[in-house]
């Protein structure tokens, strides 16, 4: 390459002639005009305005000219480079604008198109029914109370008048939490929430408590080791079995339409007197018999629903309530069973298999 002190070499500096420079400019402008995209224009910029472009090389040759010729050549090259740069900038703006406009059209989102949503889940029928059951009571001004699934032995048994040697303790196939003797278990019933409510809430008490319960039970079409109960408890002044009966009838009708309930004497340690509550069969309405069989109630006209009774004064006392002043009633029933009644779902194992088709097709609402 020529340095400023080299001798003037007419051949070497021919690149600085006006025709040569005009030729470079013409080539450059043609290439700029032909560039159809900003990417192509980038290449044009490299070739015609970059360090190795003819105009840049010509610029370097200026130093080889005799001092008197440098000014004019410098002006010519400078002007030529200016024209090329300006053309590139203008074209760049044009191309960028049209590319952006094209992108706006190509990437336009039609907000009115139907969206391909991910498949939606479904509420489990037990969850839906628990919500619906609670609504029945909340509508009467009751509160929903919850308690822990891993429960203390005292709440699950002792407070409910099931002392350490009570025979009914053994009937519930309790799942104990290790180490043995820790006094902790998986609650076998929602009844311990009664004790928790009596100990922590102000009187009068009107609560329902839905939730999971656990028993070392079979796993078959009619048994699950984990199932759901709904517990109800009222503690107030002047409460009697008649109030219980009225509430159960109202609840049964909210769940099953125009049916009645009946009570059969039974024994529960936490209620006295106690009863089992049966629903009038909501399919045959109690009209089945040997000549008119009903599968739902096995032609008995009644279906076992839950347990209930007047709260045993010993339970009130264990929870610090004056049983001379207050009385109450309680009841408890299986939610999973109630889903079966409401929907005809035949097999409890379907309840825990986790197949969304079961949840979708087992609709508890709307068949009253």
- Examine residue 309 and tell whether it contacts ligand DAH (CB under 6 A): yes
CA-based R_g, the chain, Å: 44
Q: Is the peptide bond before 273 cis (omega within 30 degrees of 0)?
A: yes
Residues 49-88 that bind ligand DAH (CB under 6 A): none
Give the contacts of 86 (CB within 8 A, at least 6 positions apart): none
110-113, long-range: CB within 8 Å, 24+ apart, which pairs?
none
Tell me if 191 contacts ligand DAH by CB under 6 A: yes
Residue 291 to residue 283: CA distance in whole angstroms: 16
Does 332 sit near ligand DAH (CB under 6 A)? yes
Nearer residue to ligand DAH within complex by CB, 191 or 327:
191
Nearest to ligand DAH of 252, 330 (CB atom): 330
Distance CA 137, CA 186 (A): 26
Q: Does 192 contact ligand DAH by CB under 6 A?
A: no
CA 41 vs. chain centroid, Å, equals 51
The Cα 22–Cα 69 span in angstroms is 18
Does the annotation flag 143 for ligand binding?
A: no
| Number of residues forming the site for ligand DAH (CB under 6 A) | 12
Q: Which of residues 230-259 bind ligand DAH (CB under 6 A)?
A: 231
Which strands make up the sheet holding 150-152, listed edge to edge?
150-152, 184-186, 175-176
Which one of 142, 155, 251, 331 is in contact with ligand DAH (CB under 6 A)?
A: 331
CB of 168 to ligand DAH, least distance (A): 9
Q: For residues 302 and 331, which CB has a smaller minimum distance to ligand DAH in the complex? A: 331
Provide, rounded to whole angstroms, the least separation between the CB of residue 233 and ligand DAH: 7
Three-state secondary-structure class, residue 237: coil
- By CB under 6 A, the residues from 261 to 300 that bind ligand DAH are 268, 270-271
Which amino acids are annotated as binding site, given as ranges? 272
Binding site for ligand DAH (CB under 6 A): 189, 191, 231, 268, 270-271, 307-309, 330-332
Which amino acids are annotated as binding site for Mg(2+), given as ranges? 272
């Amino acid at each position: 390459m020529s340095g400023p002190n080299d001798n003037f070499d007419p051949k070497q500096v021919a690149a600085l002639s006006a025709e040569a420079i005009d030729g470079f400019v013409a080539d450059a402008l043609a290439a700029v005009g032909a560039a159809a995209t900003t990417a192509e224009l980038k290449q044009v910029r490299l070739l015609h305005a970059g360090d190795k472009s003819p105009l840049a090389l010509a610029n370097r040759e200026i130093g080889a000219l005799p001092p008197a010729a440098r000014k004019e050549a410098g002006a010519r090259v400078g002007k030529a480079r200016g024209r090329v740069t300006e053309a590139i900038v203008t074209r760049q703006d044009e191309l960028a604008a049209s590319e952006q406009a094209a992108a706006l059209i190509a990437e336009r989102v039609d907000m009115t198109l139907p969206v391909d949503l991910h498949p939606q889940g479904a509420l489990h029928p037990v969850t839906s029914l628990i919500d619906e059951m609670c609504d029945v009571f909340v509508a009467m001004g009751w509160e929903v109370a919850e308690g822990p699934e891993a429960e203390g032995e005292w709440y699950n048994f002792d407070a409910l008048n099931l002392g350490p040697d009570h025979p009914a303790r053994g009937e519930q196939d309790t799942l104990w939490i290790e180490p043995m003797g820790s006094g902790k278990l998986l609650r076998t019933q929602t009844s311990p929430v009664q004790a928790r409510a009596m100990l922590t809430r102000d009187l009068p008490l009107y609560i329902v408590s839905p939730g999971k319960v656990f028993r070392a039970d079979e796993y078959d079409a009619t048994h699950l080791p984990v199932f759901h109960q709904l517990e109800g408890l009222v503690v107030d002044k002047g409460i009697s079995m008649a109030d219980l009966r009225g509430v159960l009838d109202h609840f049964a009708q909210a769940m099953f339409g125009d049916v009645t309930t009946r009570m059969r004497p039974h024994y529960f340690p936490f209620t006295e007197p106690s009863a089992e509550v049966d629903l009038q069969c909501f399919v045959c309405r109690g009209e089945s018999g040997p000549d008119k069989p009903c599968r739902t109630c096995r032609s008995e006209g009644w279906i076992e629903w839950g347990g209930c009774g007047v709260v045993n004064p010993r339970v009130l006392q264990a929870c610090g309530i004056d049983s001379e002043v207050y009385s109450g009633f309680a009841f408890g029933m299986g939610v999973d069973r109630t889903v079966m009644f409401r929907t005809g779902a035949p097999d409890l194992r379907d309840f825990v298999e986790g197949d969304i088709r079961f949840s979708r097709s087992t609709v508890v609402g709307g068949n009253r």
